[in-house]
Structure 1
Amino acid sequence: MKYRKSIVGGLVAIVVLILVFSSLTTVSSGNRGVLLQFGAVKPTILSEGLHFRIPFMQTVQQIEVRVQKEESSQSAASKDLQIVTTKVAVNYSVDPEAVNKLYQEIGLDYRSRIVDPAIAESLKAITAQYTAEELISKRPEVSAEVKDMLGKKLTKYYMKLEDINIKEFAFSEEFNKAIEAKQTAEQNALKAKRDLERVKIEAQQQVTQAQAEAQALKLKKLEVTPELIQLKQIEVQEKALEKWDGKLPSVTGGATPFIDVSGITKK
């Protein structure tokens, strides 16, 4: 009888321990727990840590509330009907205070059911408002508009958009060639403009130099007077006298006939 009581007591203790451990549940870090009672979503949301639940009646579904990253590549038509493939990275998170509603209305596959379609729709809608060249030159503006539209879509489904980064706009090969040809033409036009400006400057410099030389020549002509000519003649004669050795030339030339003056001096 005594042993029977011990066995029963031991079984009761084991059952109690099983019930105690079954009533404990842990919510991991970065998650929230959705409390389910016979499969029905309860309004209670379990935070990180240890919690009690009713064994065999209640279960806990954990949902991550940390920032998650989704990368996507979407093709769409621009305003000028160019096909643009946009690569984008989106950071988002689930609202910790609404995980029960998210689970009840959408389920655990919210990424494929909500996030991916919302990204594609936002990119296509905003891309259609810009030309292909504007998508490149106005990337910050495009990114801001996509972020605004996508944020509103995710908010309706209990998610928050943290950030968005447009990594690349890829265009067709024909469009890339057209852009390259346009850039080449612009560079050539700029070079021609610079060359023309250089030629104009050089021509102006030559005109200025010619004007300066003409002005200098004009001043020199104004300086030539009869007195200056007479002074120059005197200077030439003085230099000739300095070099004369005191002997008269034997022959003179010019307009008069040549005369031998040597014989005259001897007489």
Structure 2
Amino acid sequence: MRALPKIAAAIGVLFLILILNPFATIPAGYRGVLTTFGKPSDQVYSEGLHFVWPVAQHMHRVSVAIQKGEGDGDAASKDLQTVHTKIAINYHIRPDAAVSVYRDLGNEPGERIIIPSVQEAVKAVTARFTAEELISKRSQVRDEIVLALKERMARHGLVVDEFSIVNFNFSKTFNEAIEAKTTADQLKMKAERDLQRIEVEAKQKVSRARAEAEALALQRQQVTPELLRLREVENQAKAIEKWDGRLPTTTGGVIPFLQISNKAAETNR
């Protein structure tokens, strides 16, 4: 019977602990900011279990994991073209800056710092480039925006992890002008390639003609009277080899390659 009051007291204490919940848990990817009657302390609490005074104190979680943000907005280029830019950014809160982010930004860095900083940086950098340069120098534009963002966000304990320009979009008139210029450049390149091909083919024809002329000239130099007589003898020899010993039955004309003297004819008589 004496043990019953003790058991009841223990149960009461346990119930009181469960109701008052004097412990706070900080999960991975977060840091804790402890407030006492609403006033944040300067200490940053890491992951794990921490004791807090019920009612008087409360542990607030501040995410220090990488967070993603997307946004778009309009700006003006150097040549006064309207540019609609869509961007994507990955960022995180420095763990040691968790207290200042909670106290100064209300634990809402995306709404209070990220979006305004991105819009300001995009507008400032876009104004330094023409609309055509924004396309041709996209990587340089991105790097300058990231540099401007880092300077603004670092003052509030925020770190830029990744930044990308998803898309640049211009007015319909400018897009048509860019398309027409691209088509003209492609036609110009095709015409230049055709001209180069024609020039090469012409040079090839000249080279072949020169080679043929040189070959003919060489052949003429090699043709001598002795060579002509030799070719004549060779042709006569071939004709004799093909002759079957019979004279043509038709009269008129000259019997080719046969020379019979009158003396030999008289002897045959």
TM range (shorter): 0.7 to 0.9
3-state DSSP of counterpart to 1:160 = strand
Aligned positions, number: 252
Q: How far 1:130 sits from its partner (Å)?
A: 1.7
Partners of 1:28 and 1:251 in 2: how far apart? 126
Per the alignment, residue 118 of structure 1 pairs with: 117
Contact 1:91 1:164 in 2 (8 A): yes
Contact 1:19 1:55 in 2 (8 A): no
Per the alignment, residue 64 of structure 2 pairs with: 65
Per the alignment, residue 16 of structure 2 pairs with: 18
3-state DSSP of counterpart to 1:61 = strand
What letter is aligned with 1:33? G
Partners of 2:240 and 2:42 in 1: how far apart? 133
1:134-213 superposed matches below 5 A: 134-213=133-212
Partners of 1:67 and 1:191 in 2: how far apart? 49
Single out whichever of 134-143 and 66-75 deviates more from structure 2: 134-143
Seq. identity, %: 40
Q: How far 1:225 sits from its partner (Å)?
A: 3.3
Query: Moved runs in structure 1, 4+ residues, more than 3 A?
Result: 9-13, 19-22, 223-253
Q: CA offsets per residue over residues 125-163 of structure 1, 9 Å max, x none?
A: 111112222222222222222111111111111222222
Partners of 2:64 and 2:225 in 1: how far apart? 109
Per the alignment, residue 37 of structure 1 pairs with: 36
Partners of 2:179 and 2:97 in 1: how far apart? 51
Provide TM-score, normalisation by structure 1. Answer: 0.79
Structure 1: state its 5+ residue gaps: 254-264
Q: How far 1:71 sits from its partner (Å)?
A: 0.6
Q: How far 1:64 sits from its partner (Å)?
A: 1.5
3-state DSSP of counterpart to 2:42 = strand
Per the alignment, residue 261 of structure 1 pairs with: none
RMSD between aligned alpha carbons?
Answer: 3.4
Distance 1:55 1:187, change over 3 A: same
Q: CA offsets per residue over residues 46-82 of structure 1, 9 Å max, x none?
A: 2222211222222222222211111111221122222
3-state DSSP of counterpart to 1:99 = helix
Partners of 2:30 and 2:253 in 1: how far apart? 129
3-state DSSP of counterpart to 2:88 = strand
Distance 1:245 1:29, change over 3 A: closer
